[in-house]
Amino acid sequence: MKTRVFFMCAMLIGSIAAMAQTATINGKIEGYRQTDTLQVYVSGKSSIDMVDIKSDGTFTITESPAGPAEAMFFLTGRGQLPRDLTCAALLTPGETIGMNISFTAPDSEGKVHLAATFSGDDAAKPTYANQFYTTLRMGNSLSGENLADAGSFTACKKRVDDILAPLYKTLSGVKDAGFVTQARQALDSQKDAAYFAYANAAEEKGQKMETDADFMKMVNAINFDDTLQMSKIQSYMQWYSTAHPDAYMPLTGEAAQLKHFATKTQNADVRNKMVEAFISAINLYAALGISAARPEFKELYEQLLPICTNETYTQFIKEQLAKMENSSEGKPAVNFTIEDTEGKTLEFESIAKGGTVTYVDFWATWCGPCKREIPYLATMVDELKDTKQIRIISISIDEDHEAWRKMVAADKPAWEQYIIPNLETSAAIKEYDINSIPRFMIFDKEGNLYKSSATRPSDASTKSLLLELAK
């Protein structure tokens, strides 16, 4: 699994305490066309906004961010040009800047890019933000792929210095001392990541970086007890697992990296920082509908648990491991109460242990992907209607029971329909971690869990599997 859940991207700007003052960009698009469409995403907001452009190409953006906020611009509407031309600026509370957007000449590949120049309050600051964005994010110039042919670590460092030199030069002209400090820290982290990206790429090409004295001098200088070196520590771990893929077999990937990390430091603060990075990333996955109790995370949790002394994180890890245990193949069905369309309650255990293969569909009336599976589910039910050893049921997690009843009454599905009456306390939600739907599960004839996350009805293999289990 290539989740890389703990690697944290270096931030362009950090949290700088500030009053909620107005930040303004007065901009102009050179050679504006009426077909031009400009959108902007301001970091910290939940939407991409359309920019109102006047006939002369001028526009104004006004925001009230708590601190410096990156503004990413996306321009479309130029026919054969790439769908999005991009550039960036910086909105700083209390400051007004001018922004001039123009178009570069076609490059060697015939591509046109946006060029942005700035004026006004501390113009070097938005200039730096745009350089950072175009060079390191869009250009990806510090990736292992772009550094792999450097030939040696010394040559790699020279190339990285050359790439970053314009950014350091621009930063030297920024008046905001707090911003400069944070930006330099971010660039230093970018350097560390680039060095190890080169090392990873070199290892994959067969070069043993442990024979490079210059590289190993940097590695041996890492202080694994210093929380300020977390970025370097994380990059080191990734390189080490690339250089020693069999060191912690059968553990692989991030689990193996954590096993190695545990040998490098006993410092509780550093260890908990590493755990925090993992948990934050996993919580982000969960926010996107990816369960924190996915079986793929089991090895990670097992390596995180012994290095964690933070009670909150320890409890979280134990809860996820417990959910995985309940969702492991062969475990008896967890019992929970369900209710039919007439309001009659029954225990799920009585269905799961009914002597049939049971295919369970967890869904809701508000869930678009769930409803898209209904026609496939209906077809499968019809095709299996004479197979008495297979039972198919749908269980709604709707909080609005009336909406569920209305939809079921209107659609008249030919298979059993239930709802969970006590959603917040239901063992189904807690023990099976049903935080994203649709979710399909299969129980065998003995009432044991066969598949915690089964294939959908739209997958042709689902019916074949059910028929095989029913034999």
User: Is 5 inside a domain boundary?
Assistant: no
User: Is 121 inside a domain boundary?
Assistant: yes
Domain boundary, last residue among 204, 231, 254: 204
Number of compact structural domains in the chain: 3
| Burial category of 229 from C-beta neighbours within 10 Å (exposed 0-12, middle 13-18, buried 19 and up) | middle
Q: Which domain holds residue 270?
A: 222-326
Does residue 170 share a domain with residue 296?
no
Does residue 59 share a domain with residue 173?
yes
| Burial category of 201 from C-beta neighbours within 10 Å (exposed 0-12, middle 13-18, buried 19 and up) | buried
Hey, how many other C-beta atoms are within 10 angstroms of the C-beta on 228?
Answer: 10
Does residue 175 share a domain with residue 109?
yes
Does residue 186 share a domain with residue 289?
no
Does residue 405 share a domain with residue 345?
yes
Neighbouring C-alpha atoms within 13 Å toward the C-beta of 168: 12
User: Is 313 inside a domain boundary?
Assistant: yes
- One digit per residue, the tens of pLDDT, for the chain of length 471 reads 333 333 333 333 333 333 458 999 999 999 999 889 999 999 888 778 999 999 999 999 999 988 899 999 999 887 756 567 899 999 999 999 999 999 998 888 788 889 999 999 999 999 999 999 988 877 678 888 889 899 899 999 999 999 999 999 999 999 999 999 999 998 998 999 999 999 999 999 999 999 999 999 999 999 999 999 998 999 999 999 999 999 999 998 999 999 999 999 999 999 999 999 998 888 777 665 667 777 788 899 999 999 999 999 999 999 889 888 877 788 899 899 999 999 999 999 999 999 999 999 999 999 988 999 999 999 999 999 999 999 999 999 999 999 999 999 999 999 999 999 988 888 888 788 787 789 999 999 999 999 888 999 999 999 999 999 998
Report the C-alpha gap between 197 and 192 in whole angstroms: 9
User: Is 62 inside a domain boundary?
Assistant: yes
Does residue 458 share a domain with residue 348?
yes
Pairing of strands 85-91, 96-103: unpaired
Does residue 309 share a domain with residue 391?
no
Does residue 248 share a domain with residue 158?
no
| Spatial contact of 73 and 40, defined as CB atoms under 8 Å apart | yes
- Indicate whether this model's pTM tops 0.75: no
Which residues make Cβ contacts (< 8 Å) with residue 277, sequence separation at least 6? 6, 7, 8, 230, 234
CATH at residue 126: 2.60.40.1120
- The residue type of 172 is S
Does residue 320 share a domain with residue 345?
no
Does residue 414 share a domain with residue 300?
no
Does residue 439 share a domain with residue 395?
yes
Token readout for 465 is: 């599997």
CATH at residue 413: 3.40.30.10
User: Is 213 inside a domain boundary?
Assistant: no
Place of tokens 């350091």: 168
Does residue 373 share a domain with residue 354?
yes
| Spatial contact of 377 and 438, defined as CB atoms under 8 Å apart | no
